[in-house]
Structures are given as C-alpha cells and as structure tokens.
C-alpha cells in the first residue's frame, strides 16, 4: 500500500511537471505569435486545400501509431531507463507515455544507470490521470523462480541483496525471492561480525533448491573457493620444508593455531608454538596477528601443511650452561603434575623430572600431588643430566639429611618411641616413626596375653602406638619393633598363679569346633577342648557363661594354658570315692585285728560268729565301693 501511494505521488509530480512545461510552451507561443505571423508564407498556405491537410493528418497519425508498441496489461516487458533521481526511475517501454518506478524496487542493484535495460510489469496502461503504471518488483517476482532454477542448472553467478540477519545466517533478496545464506557459506574464513554484511549487494551461486517448499540456498563462499583452490595449488607447488613464510593468525583452537598463508591454511600444533609448556595457544598468539612460521611438513594429496613457530629460535638445551652438572642445586617451576612425578621447568624449554620416589625419604607409595602442585617454585638437586637426549632427573629429598645415616644413634636397640600405624598385613603392623623411618611390629609382639588373629583387632590405621626397637636392619632400611616389650613378661607371674590343678573362675568368650577360649583373671586367656566343656548335668557350656576351670596344662614358652571344666567336678567325686575306700579299708583292717587277737580264745561257736561278722563286713565294703 505504501509503495502504491508513493507511486501515485510520484506520478502526480511528473504530471504536474508536464502541465507546467506545457503552459510555458503555450505562453512562449503567444509571445512569438506576432513574429510568426510576419514570417509565415501566406501565399503558399492559401494554395493548400483543406482536403489535402486532412489526408496528411491521417497519414501522420498512422505513422505515429506504428511507432508505438502493442502492449497489454498484466504482462512483463523490457524497458530502458531514461532518467532517475533519488526517489524514482523513468522507464521507456515504447509506449505513448513513459512509466515511473520507485527507486526502492532497485535497491538490490545500486549500480543502476541511465541506458540500462530492466524488466517491468505493466499494471495499467492508464490510471485515472492517464499515467502508465509499471512495477519492477512484480516483474522480478514473476520471472524469479525460473531464473533461480536456471541459475542452479547453469551454475550461474547471480547478484543478491542481503536484507537482514537471521539465525544461522543471512536473508538474501535474489530476483525478488528471499533466499537463505548460511553463515558458513559467507566466506572461507570464520565470520566474527555478521551485521557488517547487512545492506550489501554481493555475488552468489545457487547451491540448493527445495521445489516442494520453494526454498533457495545460496553461497558466496563457493565463488571464491574455486579461485582459492587454484591459489592453493600454486602455493603448495612452491612449498619446501624449512621454508619461512609470513602468515596471518586465522583461527585459534585448544590444540593449535590455523595460519593463512595467502590462500592456503597451515596448522601450528600447540607443541610447536613454544619450547616451553603452553596451556592454550592464546598465550602465544592473537587473532589477525602477522607472524613468521617455518614449514615442517606438507601433504600434496590432502593439502595439509604443518607449521612451526618455536623452530625459528634455538633450542633452549643448546643454550644450557656447560658448567651445570650432576649434584648442582637448581631452581624451577612445577609445570606438569602426574601421579609418578612432577616436571619442573628450570629455564624456558628446559625441564627435569622429579620422580615421586625422589620427593621424600619415605618408602610409602604416594602420589606427586601429595608433595607439590602446579606453579610451585622449588629447589632441587640434579641427579642425572643427558644433554644429547635432553633429559634431566631431579630430586628434592636430597636437600634433607637421610634419617638412616645416623639411625643407630637416634633409634638404638631398646629405645622407646611413638609411631604411627601405616599399614596392616596378616603377620604384623607397619609403622612409621618419622618420615623415611619405617618399622614392623610382628603380630606376636603386640600382646603378651591375647591371641590376636589380625592386627586390626589390636589397633587401627593412622593410630599412634608405643614401640620399642628390637633390631635394626640398615641395609633394607627397616626396624624390628615390639609393643608388648614395653611391659614385663606377665607369664613369669602367671607361672606361679596358674599352676597345674589350680582352679580359677573364667568366662567363655569364644566357642568353635575345636573348643572354646576362656578369659581368666589378669587378662590372660586359656583354651578348653570340647570334652572338657561338659557340665556336671551333661550339657555343654555356653558363650559368656562363668564357670570354674581347672588348669590341666601350663606352658610358659608357648604362652599356653589348657583348661577343663569337667575335671573340676570329676576330681571332686573321685576324691570322695577315694576317701570312702580308705575309710572302709581301715575298718576292715581293724576288724581283722580283733579277730586275730581273739582267735586263740574262741570256741567252735565263736568261730561261727566270726565268720558271720566277716561276711557282713565284706558286704559293707563292697557296697561302699559301688
């Protein structure tokens, strides 16, 4: 609607200008009419008949009509630009009047000039004011789809006007159709600011058409890729390894830098940027920076070019002081940490490795992160130096005295210390008295009295424990330690308390197939087999039950006490039986003596009485024995 209104306004302006010109012409004719009358040949005019004048007029009219094009409304024709200004374009299509088209319809073509041929759509041969109404935009729209398809088939270069930016690219006016220009197809190099292209007229190639949805995709990159491809071939044909070229930083990634060598790209890998450690290439170069690079390698087939920057400077190892030797102390910065060690940079591009075993005199397996972190400034001793292979090993524990050099003085046999539990094994406890000084407490040296199956029953990792040095193994850097030796051997006392056949109260603390463990007074433990765990009523003893136990075996050397509950009541009964037997025997012996003493005085009747008495005594004795 706005364009139609604008066209009407422009038409009215043109008509007004024409009327003004006509009025001026009439006025001029009035001014010169008197002069014309004086110069006019009236004699010749009087000799001309009116009939002849009418015939001449018809002839002139026919001739005029033959010069006009035969036009119809609603068709597309070609016209010629005869004039233009800031608002409108006047187009001659061979009709009796010229048409006016808004300049906005030619914004895709900023180079429009007088004499150019343009296509226009005839909307009306005459409007209310008798003006020819034309439209260039509608003409393009009618012919655009055919032209776009033809451009794709012929691989033709077309011109388009970039209207605006959209998600992922730009919208381009091509023949009046809105085509999509992907961001990746604008240029061969990455685009940082899309807005600078809005409002520009550029050349494109049609790369894809969706006939169903009437979508068109264009590319500007395709136009320059062909030229660049030829340039690449020419540049690569002249490349040589070791050649130094100037390039521009085109793109920076985490793994390297892409360099534009003037139509062909090369890559500087992050490891070839500097002799030192580089966390990210942006630490060394910046976008659009011009730098010199050296060609390391290239592939004719894949057209890949490997470039280097650090190779333009001497290797730092070549500048390393010749006086530096093994045993010297150097300062450096931790640049890389791994579990097995730390790389320390003592000069740009000169690194040494501190293995984790060279960080502490301790023999415990640890990680380098326990001692250092990236960025730490450290002092270290050079342990090995290989200038040919450019390798160096360092150590920091060597800056501290070795605790094993004077181990005999500080940790003599019999000395007492506090240690920290580091690790368990089935046979003992590994402890550390100080960094680098380790020792082993055998499981048998943990307690005098308790039977310990695993050290975890006695202590825990990280706990402190009192120890006494039993032996020193300097070659293997290991101490033999004891814990129970801090106290006197209680078995010397137990030997006098837990004598064989002595009875003590005990608590059953563990029962298993082969017997039970009995807790006795003074913290000592004894053992009883199943047959010695039968109670007087025939039942078995139970866990946590308190009973009396008799010592049936004591071994000081083996620290073993064998107990029996059954023997307690069995021995009592046996003692009672033995006492009865002894009493009966004494009575029998006394009766026999009386018989013997009276034997000489007896008669036959007395003998019978004695025999009866003897028989009775034998029966009583037999009954007692039962």
List the domains of the chain with CATH numbers. Answer: 75-141 (2.40.50.140), 155-226 (2.40.50.140), 239-308 (2.40.50.140), 328-396 (2.40.50.140), 403-482 (2.40.50.140), 490-573 (2.40.50.140)
534: DSSP letter: B
Name the pTM for this structure. Answer: 0.41
Q: What is the CA radius of gyration of the chain?
A: 61
From the centroid of its chain, how far is CA 413? 53
Question: Is the alpha carbon torsion for 596, 600, 605, 606 positive or negative?
Answer: negative
pLDDT in the model for residue 566: 87
Q: pLDDT tens digit string along 249-288?
A: 988 898 999 988 877 788 999 988 888 788 889 888 898 8
DSSP, res 455: G
CA dist 432 → 47, 125, 312, 368, 436 (Å): 146, 109, 53, 19, 8
- What pLDDT shows up at residue 488? 75
Mean pLDDT of 388-417: 82
Average pLDDT on 213-217 reads 85
User: Of the spans 193-202, 284-293, 490-499, which averages the highest pLDDT?
Assistant: 284-293
Helix (H/G/I), strand (E/B), else coil: 583? helix
Band (3; pLDDT cuts 50, 70, 90): very low
* pLDDT tens track for 60-77: 655 545 555 566 777 888
Q: What is the pLDDT of residue 52?
A: 46
Among residues of the chain, what percentage have pLDDT more than 90? 2
pLDDT confidence band for 10 (50 / 70 / 90): very low
CA distance linking residue 366 with residue 435, whole number of Å: 13
Tens-place pLDDT, residues 489-510: 777 778 888 888 888 899 998 8
């Amino acid at each position: 609607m706005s364009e139609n209104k604008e066209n009407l306004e422009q038409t009215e302006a043109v008509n007004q200008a024409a009327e003004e010109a006509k009025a001026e012409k009439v006025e001029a004719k009035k001014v010169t009419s008197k002069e014309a009358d004086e110069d006019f040949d009236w004699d010749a005019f009087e000799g001309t008949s009116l009939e002849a004048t009418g015939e001449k007029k018809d002839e002139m009219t026919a001739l005029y009509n033959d010069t006009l094009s035969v036009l119809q409304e609603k068709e597309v024709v070609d016209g010629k630009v005869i004039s233009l200004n800031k608002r409108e374009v006047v187009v001659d299509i061979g009709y009796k009047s010229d048409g006016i088209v808004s300049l906005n319809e030619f914004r895709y073509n900023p180079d429009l000039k007088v004499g150019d041929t343009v296509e226009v759509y005839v909307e009306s041969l005459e409007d209310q004011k008798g003006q020819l109404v034309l439209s260039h935009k509608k003409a393009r729209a009618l012919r655009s789809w055919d032209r776009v398809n033809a451009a794709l088939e012929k691989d033709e270069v077309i011109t388009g006007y970039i209207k605006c930016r959209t998600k992922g690219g730009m919208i381009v006016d091509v023949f009046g159709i809105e085509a999509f220009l992907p961001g990746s197809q604008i240029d061969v190099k990455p685009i940082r600011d899309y807005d600078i292209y809005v409002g520009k007229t550029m050349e494109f190639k049609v790369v894809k058409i969706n006939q169903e949805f009437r979508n068109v995709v264009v590319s500007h990159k395709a136009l320059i890729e062909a030229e660049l491809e030829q340039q690449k071939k020419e540049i690569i044909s002249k490349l040589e390894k070791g050649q130094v070229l100037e390039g521009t930083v085109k793109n920076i990634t985490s793994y390297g830098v892409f360099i534009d060598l003037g139509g062909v790209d090369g890559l500087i890998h992050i490891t070839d940027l500097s002799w030192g450690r580089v966390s990210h290439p942006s630490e060394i170069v910046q976008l659009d920076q011009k730098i010199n690079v050296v060609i390391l390698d290239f592939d004719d087939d894949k057209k890949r070019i490997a470039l280097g920057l650090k190779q333009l400077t001497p290797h730092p190892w070549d500048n390393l002081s010749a006086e530096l030797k093994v045993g010297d102390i150097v300062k450096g910065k931790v640049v890389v940490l791994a579990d097995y060690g730390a790389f320390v940079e003592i000069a740009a591009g000169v690194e040494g490795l501190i293995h984790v075993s060279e960080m502490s005199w301790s023999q415990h397996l640890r990680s380098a992160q326990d001692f250092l972190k990236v960025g730490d400034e450290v002092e270290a001793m050079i342990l090995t130096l290989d200038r040919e292979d450019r390798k160096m090993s360092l150590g920091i524990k060597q800056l501290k005295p070795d605790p094993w050099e004077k181990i005999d003085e500080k940790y003599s046999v019999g000395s007492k210390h506090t240690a920290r539990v580091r690790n368990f094994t089935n046979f003992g406890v590994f402890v550390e008295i100080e960094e680098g000084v380790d020792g082993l407490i055998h499981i048998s040296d943990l307690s005098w009295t308790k039977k310990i199956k695993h050290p975890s029953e006695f202590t825990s990792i990280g706990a402190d424990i009192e120890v006494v040095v039993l032996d020193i193994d300097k070659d293997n850097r290991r101490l033999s330690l004891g814990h129970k030796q801090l106290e006197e051997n209680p078995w010397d006392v137990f030997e006098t308390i837990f004598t064989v056949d002595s009875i003590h109260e005990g608590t059953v603390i563990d029962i298993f197939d082969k017997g039970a463990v009995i807790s006795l007074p003074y913290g000592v433990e004894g053992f009883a087999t199943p047959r010695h765990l039968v109670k007087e009523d025939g039942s078995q003893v139970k866990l946590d039950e308190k009973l009396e136990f008799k010592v049936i075996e004591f071994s000081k050397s083996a620290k073993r006490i064998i107990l029996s509950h059954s023997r307690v009541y069995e021995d009592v009964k046996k003692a009672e039986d033995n006492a009865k037997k002894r009493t009966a025997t004494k009575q029998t012996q006394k009766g026999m003596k009386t018989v013997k003493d009276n034997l000489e005085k007896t008669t036959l009747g007395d003998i019978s009485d004695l025999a009866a008495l003897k028989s009775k005594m034998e029966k009583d004795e037999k009954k007692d024995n039962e």
